[in-house]
Amino acid sequence: MNRDHRENRGPWYLLTGLIVGFVLGLLYTWAVQPVEYVDTNPASLRVDYKDRYRAMIAAAYQYNHDLVRAQARLELLNDEDLVRALTEQAQRTLGVGGDQAEAGSLGELAAALDVVIAQASGAGSAGISSPEVRTPTHTPEPALTSTVQPSSTATETPESPLDTILPEATQSESTLAVTATITRTPRPSATPSPTPTETPTRTPTSTPAAPFVLRTTQRLCEQNQPGGLIQVIALDAAEAQIAGVEVIVTWDGGEDHFYTGLQPELGRGYADFDMAADVVYAVRLAEAGETARELSTFTCSGGYPGSWRITFQQP
């Protein structure tokens, strides 16, 4: 009888022991010696802290203009697409009425990175080969797996101001000056995305002291593209697009600010604004200069909405 009883309860003792052991293990790991996060890396940061980290990288870039360093730092965050992460954060920042300077810094860094990444990938390289580099830098030791390494021999490459957006205009009516127009693929967000072709080796940045002149005010009619936009392009004196230029759109009872370069796929100096019907807008750049006025929605001859292309240039 007793032997039968022992035989019957044997497996239960084993199971009970396992459960007790497991519970003891949990107690130890949860109560006695809980996990403490130490020596973590930026990739493990919470999303909002990653945003802060990214903003910090962009702020530091404003001082050093060292793309190698900025890219190495950004890669620590393990973003799938560095440029997209920057531009999305810039747009989020503007969207919630955040710090415009911060958004501008993020946009400028995104635009600069977009150029060198495209250039590097075009050359079959895994990273930046010769961007604008100030000095070799120290980078954090742990987990820096970037293939981009600061190089003490990197040199500045000559400036090549040409920046091409695909010149694929479909129709154009009453243009004051004909310039390249953007080939756009409609997206849900109504932000077009052409494929940039040539890219410069160095990113021009806004020169705060130089005023802009209004070079062209152009009506665009592109049947297959979203209309109703004010497209702004900022160029320097050499006709290279400039990222990070603040654009101010005003209308009766309202005003909006945004920056060029937040959609680097459309050009570093590009920015756009959605017009509402029956509202008259004026556009200028914050860094002084002329204003494009009397901009409102219009209908093209085909019955679809057209857009405005406003080009500002530093003399």
Partner 1 sequence: MIAILIGIAGGLFYGWEISPVEYVDTSPDTLSIDYKTDYVLMAAEAYQVENDPALAVQRLAVLGGDPIEMVVQAILSAERNGYIDSDLALMRQLSEALQAWHLQAGQGS
- Report how far residue 299's alpha carbon sits from residue 293's, in angstroms, rounded to the nearest whole number: 18
- Report how far residue 11's alpha carbon sits from residue 187's, in angstroms, rounded to the nearest whole number: 63
Query: Measured from the CB atom, is 60 or 286 closer to partner 1?
Result: 60
Tell the smallest beta-carbon distance from residue 127 to partner 1 (Å): 18
Tell the smallest beta-carbon distance from residue 259 to partner 1 (Å): 17
Tell the smallest beta-carbon distance from residue 220 to partner 1 (Å): 37
Which residues lie near partner 1 (CB under 8 A)? 13-22, 24-26, 29, 35, 37-42, 44-47, 49, 52-53, 56-57, 59-60, 62-64, 73, 76, 135-142
What letter represents residue 177's amino acid? A
- Report how far residue 125's alpha carbon sits from residue 293's, in angstroms, rounded to the nearest whole number: 45
Tell the smallest beta-carbon distance from residue 265 to partner 1 (Å): 27
Tell the smallest beta-carbon distance from residue 21 to partner 1 (Å): 2
For the chain, the first-to-last Cα distance in angstroms comes to 106
- Report how far residue 139's alpha carbon sits from residue 302's, in angstroms, rounded to the nearest whole number: 57
Query: Measured from the CB atom, is 80 or 278 closer to partner 1?
Result: 80
Query: Measured from the CB atom, is 148 or 182 closer to partner 1?
Result: 148
- Report how far residue 101's alpha carbon sits from residue 99's, in angstroms, rounded to the nearest whole number: 5
Nearest to 206 by CA among 268, 263, 264: 268
Tell the smallest beta-carbon distance from residue 202 to partner 1 (Å): 20
Tell the smallest beta-carbon distance from residue 112 to partner 1 (Å): 16
Tell the smallest beta-carbon distance from residue 17 to partner 1 (Å): 2
Phi and psi (nearest 5°) for 301?
-60, -25
Place of tokens 């920046």: 163
Query: Measured from the CB atom, is 13 or 187 closer to partner 1?
Result: 13
Structure-derived torsion over alpha carbons of residues 40, 43, 45, 47, reported in degrees to the nearest 10: -170
Token pair for 266: 């459309």
Query: Measured from the CB atom, is 57 or 83 closer to partner 1?
Result: 57
Q: What is the CA radius of gyration of the chain?
A: 27
Nearest to 212 by CA among 248, 176, 180: 248
Cβ atoms 76, 145 nearer than 8 A: no
Query: Measured from the CB atom, is 22 or 254 closer to partner 1?
Result: 22
Query: Measured from the CB atom, is 13 or 293 closer to partner 1?
Result: 13
Query: Measured from the CB atom, is 74 or 128 closer to partner 1?
Result: 74
DSSP string, 173-202: -SBSS----------TTS---PPP----SS
SS3 231: strand
